[in-house]
Amino acid sequence: MIYRAIGLMSGSSLDGLDIAFASFRQENGSWKFDLTHAACYPYNSYWQHRLKSATTLSAQDYLMLHAEYGHYLGKQVNRFIEENQLHFQVSLIASHGHTTFHNPSGMMTAQLGDGAAIAARTGLPVVSDLRALDVALGGQGAPIVPIGEKLLLGDYDAYLNLGGIANITVNAERFIAFDVCPANRVLNMLAGEAGMEFDESGNLAASGTLHIECLQELNRLEYYQKPYPKSLANEFGTDVVFPLVIKFCARPADALRTYTEHIVLQIGRSLQQIIPFTNRKKRLLVTGGGAHNTFLISRLKEHLSKADIETVVPDARIIDYKEALIMAFIGVLRWRQEYTVLASVTGASRNSIGGALWLGQEA
């Protein structure tokens, strides 16, 4: 059986909507995939503002935005299908949505993008609300990609995603995963202090000077002392980390250099705590937008080589669209009524088959 699905992902960095179309099949008990089409549709200033300010809205206005953004997602899927001539080839859409509120301790998480609206716009089955059941079962609801890493990308000891938030997965006797620290969201905000949308290739960071006192204060933040499983809300980066860096570093280059080092140190610390000891070199797969930051990657490679960990950066399509690819795969698992979230990753009371299913086609 071959499943052809579209995955949608909108990350906390607010750069745009990632869309991936892939086919999935099982061969001798193992999953195989072909990622044939992918695109990122950048958000215009309207959607950047709407998504960024969503948490300040009244309940009614928030729900209106939830519906509006769902219809927007549906229209973007239709555009993607048209541009890639995928008519009558897509069996399923899986949408992560855009995370706004995430409070696992209160058993609540919310992602904008009404699945019913997507289904109505596209006329296709849609799986949405991918984190909700895990959170209801006492889990963190994050990271959500380890099920795909385990079943689709199983040849590495660990996986690192450098998105708006950096998160890691370790492939041990049981899968362990958690959010490490804010990443691109804070780096982009710091670049904004220099009038740039982002620090291309980390060039400005590379020219900066490390601020030791700031680095020490960052590393002392309470979140880093907590045991896993654990996850981060976007506000930790925007409301806690960013102001702290700005307080110490007057020059954007110094701020970027210092925060880049913080990311590297926290990733290294996390990996060395949980990656199993072996006599062979371990391999870490790095994806997400931060994998294009050559300065960050060079610092990461240098730091992890001391722990005998090889940093592997794959081809650009996997770097940029791994999360959208795995959203599509999660939709397939939900359709098959198989586990989509692992309790060993999130701390939930059990594994779960998460996701609301909306049937967009007529009976």
Q: Which amino acid is at 352?
A: S
**How far apart are alpha carbons 2 and 328 in whole angstroms?**
13
Pairing verdict, β 92-103 and 2-10: parallel
Q: What is the pLDDT of residues 224-233, one digit of tens each?
A: 999 988 989 8
- Element holding 166 (H helix, E strand): strand 165-171
Residue 143, pLDDT score: 83
Q: Which CATH architecture best describes the domain 147-318? A: 2-Layer Sandwich (3.30)
End-to-end Cα distance, the chain = 23
> Who contacts 170 (Cβ-Cβ below 8 Å, separation ≥6)?
157, 158, 176, 177, 271, 274, 275, 276
- What percent of the chain clears pLDDT 90, i.e. is strictly above it? 83
All structural domains of the chain with their residue ranges: 2-140+322-358, 147-318
Q: What percent of the chain has pLDDT over 70?
A: 99
pLDDT grade for 278, boundaries at 50, 70 and 90: low
DSSP tag of 172:
S
Report residue 173's pLDDT band, with 50, 70 and 90 as the boundaries: confident
Q: What is the pLDDT of residues 31-48, one digit of tens each?
A: 999 999 999 999 999 999
Q: What is the mean pLDDT of the chain?
A: 94
The phi and psi torsions of 310 (rounded to 5 degrees) equal: -85, 130
- Strand-pair partners of 358: 126
Predicted TM-score (pTM) of this structure = 0.84
Mean pLDDT for the stretch of residues 255-262: 98
pLDDT band at 3; cut points 50, 70, 90 = very high
3-state secondary structure of 228: coil
On the question of a common fold for 2-140+322-358 and 147-318, the answer reads: yes
Residue 172 has pLDDT above 80, yes or no: no
Class of domain 2-140+322-358: alpha beta
pLDDT the model gives residue 202: 98
**Which pLDDT score is estimated for 363?**
59
Residues 324-350: tens digit of each pLDDT: 999 999 999 999 999 999 998 899 999
DSSP-derived secondary structure letter, 240? I
pLDDT tens-digit series, residues 240-257: 999 999 999 999 999 999
pLDDT digits (tens, 9 = 90+) for 96-150: 999 999 999 999 999 999 999 999 999 999 999 999 999 999 999 988 898 998 8
Q: Quick check: 178 and 144 in contact, CB under 8 A?
A: no
Q: Quote the pLDDT of residue 277.
A: 62
CA distances to 211, 258, 264, 312, 314 from 216, rounded to whole Å, are: 9, 10, 13, 28, 32
Class of residue 112 by CB neighbours under 10 A (exposed 0-12, middle 13-18, buried 19+): buried
- Of residues 216 and 12, more confidently modeled: 216
